[in-house]
């Protein structure tokens, strides 16, 4: 007798549910940013600035280094110079466009390097805790005690003028700030249940740092670092303004602001243009980092 009774099972209906997958963390963040008009606006401005920076040489209407004693300090809308000319008769529009390069570079690079180093230091201090934490963080506090402008000027002054030294001093200025944020976020994360749960499931310290600490800590640090880009640009401009950063005749917004300050009474609008550019860029970075902060909040 055949005991193998074949049962006719209903056809699997699992097809329907397999389609809808839950989006990844970052694609969720991007989706939220896309719904945020402020973030979109800031992104558009920054994207335009980056395009200008990359293709500056192709885009400039005239030679940014061409001086002319006859056409110096012309007003906005002067024939052939849509944004006027500077104190040496060079085209302001071209110089502002080319200046985007150095200004963005000076704004982003120090923050990027400080992000890597500062996060490392802060996560190490936060995760190790105890004596190691105290040693690292008190050392960081010494640097932190100086106002950032003062520290940047002092370091640049000591190292000597030049782009490389300006970048270095700005990096040193930002490392303590990022390390502090990294340390405090890491200390918070370290005490979370999921870290203990990971330990309870046999994860070793290195795995915990790599997976659970980094995964939860990089987001907040990244947001903070984005907001520092604006500060970095302003500080870099300040250094250039003082003659410690970019050297003439290279166009950089802070330096342009410096050299044009003598013209503030003759051509105030032209003299203010580099400042306007700094303002637009830094506010775009700030708005973007604000939107990023709310988009990365998982619970909302």
Partner 1 sequence: MNASTDSAAKEAIVSVRDLHVTFTAGKKPVEAVNGVDLQVARGETVALIGESGSGKSVTLRSLLRLHPARHTRIEGRIEVAGANVLSMGSRALADYRGRVASMIFQEPLLALDPVYTVGAQIIESIRRHENISTADARKRALELFERVRIPSPERRLDAYPHEMSGGMRQRAMIALALACRPQVLLADEPTTALDATVQIQILLLLRELQRELGLAIVFVTHDMGAAVEVADRFAVMYAGRIVEEGPTREVIRNPRHPYTLALMQARADGAMEKGARLASIPGAPPDLAHLPMGCAFAERCTFAQPACLQTRPDAVELGGDHRARCLRTDATIQFGRPRMERPAIPA
Q: For binding to partner 1 (CB under 8 A), which residues are involved?
A: 14, 17-18, 20-22, 25, 130, 192-194, 196-204, 207, 211-212, 215-216, 219, 298-299
At 78 the three-state DSSP class reads strand
**Residue 81, helix vs strand vs coil:** strand
Instruction: Output 17 or 79, the one with its CB closest to partner 1.
Output: 17
Give the residue with the Cβ less far from partner 1, 199 or 293: 199
CB of 127 to partner 1, least distance (A): 12
CA torsion through residues 113, 117, 118, 123, sign: positive
The residue among 129 and 275 lying less far from partner 1, judged by its C-beta, is 129
Provide the minimum distance between the beta carbon of 177 and partner 1 in the complex, in angstroms, as a whole number: 24
Shortest CB 76 distance to partner 1, Å:
49
The alpha carbon dihedral of 188, 194, 199, 205 has a sign of: negative
Smallest Cα–Cα separation from 73: which of 273, 260, 274, 272? 260
Task: State which residue, 276 or 298, has the beta carbon closest to partner 1.
Answer: 298
Complex with partner 1: residue 25 or 269, whichever CB lies closer? 25
Minimum distance, C-beta of residue 159 to partner 1, in the bound complex (Å) = 39
Q: Which is nearer to partner 1, 194 or 269 (CB)?
A: 194
Calculate the dihedral angle through the C-alpha atoms of 276, 258, 176, 195, rounding to the nearest 10 degrees: 20
* DSSP structure class, residue 211: I
Phi and psi angles of residue 292, each rounded to the nearest 5 degrees, phi first: -60, -40
Residues in the chain: 300
Here the tokens at position 98 are: 């080319």
- Give the separation between CA 84 and CA 99, rounded to whole angstroms: 16
Provide the minimum distance between the beta carbon of 294 and partner 1 in the complex, in angstroms, as a whole number: 16
User: Smallest distance, Å, CB 180 to partner 1?
Assistant: 22
């Amino acid at each position: 007798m055949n005991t193998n009774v074949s049962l006719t099972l209903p056809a699997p209906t699992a097809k329907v549910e397999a389609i809808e997958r839950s989006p990844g963390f970052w694609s969720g963040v991007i989706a939220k940013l896309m719904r945020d008009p402020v973030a979109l606006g800031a992104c558009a401005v920054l994207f335009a600035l980056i395009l200008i920076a990359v293709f500056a040489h192709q885009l400039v209407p005239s030679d940014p280094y061409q001086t002319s004693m006859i056409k110096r300090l012309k007003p906005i809308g002067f024939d052939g110079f849509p944004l006027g000319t500077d104190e040496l008769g060079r085209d302001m529009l071209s110089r502002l466009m080319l200046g985007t390069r150095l200004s963005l570079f000076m704004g982003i690079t120090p923050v990027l390097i400080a992000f890597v180093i500062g996060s490392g230091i802060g996560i190490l201090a936060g995760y190790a805790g105890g004596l190691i934490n105290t040693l690292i963080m008190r050392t960081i506090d010494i640097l932190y005690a100086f106002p950032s402008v003062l520290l940047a000027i002092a370091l640049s002054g000591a190292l000597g003028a030049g782009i490389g030294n300006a970048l270095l001093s700005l990096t040193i200025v930002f490392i303590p700030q990022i390390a502090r944020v990294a340390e405090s976020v890491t200390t918070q994360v370290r005490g979370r249940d999921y870290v203990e749960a990971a330990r309870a499931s046999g994860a070793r310290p290195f795995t915990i740092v790599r997976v659970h600490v980094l995964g939860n800590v990089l987001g907040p640090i990244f947001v903070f670092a984005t907001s520092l880009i604006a500060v970095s640009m302003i500080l870099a401009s300040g250094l250039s303004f003082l003659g410690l950063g970019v050297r003439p005749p290279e166009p950089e917004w802070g330096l342009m602001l410096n050299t044009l300050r003598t013209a503030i009474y003759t051509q105030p609008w032209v003299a203010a243009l580099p400042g306007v550019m700094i303002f637009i860029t830094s506010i775009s970075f700030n708005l973007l980092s604000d939107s990023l902060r709310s988009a990365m909040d998982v619970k909302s």
